């Protein structure tokens, strides 16, 4: 079992990673808890034993479940169950579950403790850690939410044994992002920043791969909990990814692109845009493509998306300060870049084969 701490000054919590991590639930719950609301999805079938009475709630599958109506339904269920402020919410599932359950925990009775039991690779390396909770609007992804830190995160690698192939791909999208954020930690001595990012991740056992990604996120969250500065680096590739997901959902039906797949395309977009702006050269773009290929991730936009529609969604990104602010690679590594010209973004999308 590997433990990584998220240190928030006077507050801290641990992320436990390994086989059987879910069995630690009764140990990490606050002592005052007398009842637990377990929020999960149909078909997850990953049982937890908190050691106190349990009320089970389910949310629907897919990004459409990340809605204010889902949060209202959960909160009304908590009220009917008599959940007190001293009790707890336990999210058992992937990123959708931790986002929705965490937001419900943040707003019910103005905040009750919650624990994330992450059952997907995406949740274990990213979504369940850091306290960002929220839901979508038709106008964009994650536009309504709250910073509400869990009291613990349990990443049980047993849950990954039955993970579908596309869910592995989704998680690897976040792992690929982490490969370019190694400067948030001391990198392995045999892996200079100018070298082949990501190669060291492939060489580690799965538990250590997850722990390395968690440590990178913890390093950013610990110094910038509410995403005012350094934590923005964790959004590398996400501006485009969220725009792609939002535009596909707006077009009708659920989004058939997994978050990690959209993120991979977003990382490629960010690299091409950085080259267009003169921040990086062809070799650095080739390194992005090589890394994404090594993770077997997509780098092309799906057919039928509009460049202007994507840019419209990007203007609503949470990092935007009445401008187009993106996280881009550069001579000193990945950093926040405000005031990116819209014409360059449109040009990059057309370069990727997107319709104007």
3-state percent helix, strand, coil for the chain, nearest multiple of 5: 45, 20, 35
Helix, strand counts (H, E) of the chain? 12, 11
Give the count of beta carbons closer than 10 Å to the beta carbon of residue 289.
Answer: 14
Length of the chain: 356
322 is catalytic: no
Q: Catalytic pick from 22, 172, 217, 288?
A: 217
Q: Which residues lie across from 89 on neighbouring strands?
A: 37, 114
Q: Catalytic pick from 227, 275, 318, 319?
A: 227
Q: Catalytic pick from 114, 132, 275, 318?
A: 132
Within 13 Å, how many C-alpha atoms sit on residue 332's CB side? 6
Q: Give the distance between the most distant pair of CA atoms in the chain.
A: 59
Taking the C-alpha atoms of residue 98 and residue 113, their distance in angstroms, rounded to an integer, is 13
3 state SS of 89: strand
Q: Catalytic pick from 212, 259, 288, 319?
A: 259
235 is catalytic: yes
Taking the C-alpha atoms of residue 257 and residue 150, their distance in angstroms, rounded to an integer, is 28
Spell 98-122 as b/e; 16+ CB within 10 A means b.
Answer: bbbbbbbbbbbeeebbbbbbbbbbb
Q: Catalytic pick from 110, 138, 161, 322?
A: 110
Looking at 59-103, which runs of residues are DSSP E strands? 88-93
132 is catalytic: yes
238 is catalytic: yes
296 is catalytic: no
Within 13 Å, how many C-alpha atoms sit on residue 103's CB side? 27
318 is catalytic: no
Q: Catalytic pick from 238, 258, 275, 318?
A: 238
197 is catalytic: no
Q: Catalytic pick from 58, 63, 167, 174?
A: 174
Q: Catalytic pick from 116, 136, 142, 235?
A: 235
Active site amino acids: 110, 132, 174, 217, 227, 231, 235, 238, 242, 259
């Amino acid at each position: 079992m590997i433990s990584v701490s998220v240190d928030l000054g006077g507050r801290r919590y641990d992320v436990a990673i390994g086989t059987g991590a879910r069995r630690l639930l009764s140990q990490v719950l606050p002592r005052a808890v007398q009842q637990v609301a377990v929020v999960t999805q149909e078909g997850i079938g990953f049982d937890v034993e908190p050691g106190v009475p349990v009320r089970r709630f389910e949310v629907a599958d897919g990004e459409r479940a990340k809605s204010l109506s889902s949060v209202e339904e959960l909160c009304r269920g908590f009220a009917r169950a008599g959940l007190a402020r001293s009790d707890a919410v336990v999210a058992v599932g992937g990123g959708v579950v931790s986002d929705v359950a965490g937001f419900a925990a943040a707003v019910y009775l103005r905040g009750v403790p919650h624990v994330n039991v992450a059952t997907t690779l995406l949740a274990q390396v990213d979504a369940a850690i850091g306290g960002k909770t929220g839901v979508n609007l038709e106008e964009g992804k994650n536009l309504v939410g709250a910073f509400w830190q869990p009291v613990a995160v349990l990443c049980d690698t047993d849950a990954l044994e039955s993970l579908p192939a596309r869910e592995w791909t989704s998680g690897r999208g976040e792992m690929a992002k982490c490969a370019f954020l190694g400067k948030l930690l001391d990198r392995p001595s045999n892996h200079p920043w100018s070298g082949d990012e990501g190669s060291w991740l492939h060489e580690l056992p799965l538990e250590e791969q997850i722990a390395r990604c968690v440590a990178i996120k913890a390093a950013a969250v610990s110094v910038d909990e509410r995403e005012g500065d350094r934590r923005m680096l964790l959004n590398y590739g996400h501006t485009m990814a969220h725009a792609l997901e939002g535009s596909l959902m707006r077009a009708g039906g659920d989004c058939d692109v997994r978050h990690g797949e959209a993120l991979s395309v977003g990382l490629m977009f960010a690299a091409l845009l950085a080259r267009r702006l003169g921040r990086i050269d062809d070799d650095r773009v080739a390194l992005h493509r090589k890394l994404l290929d090594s993770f077997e991730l997509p780098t092309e936009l799906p057919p039928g998306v509009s460049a202007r529609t994507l840019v419209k969604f990007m203007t609503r990104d949470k990092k935007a300060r009445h401008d187009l602010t993106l996280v881009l690679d550069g001579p000193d590594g990945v950093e926040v870049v405000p005031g990116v010209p819209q014409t360059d973004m449109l040009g990059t999308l057309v370069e990727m084969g997107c319709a104007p």
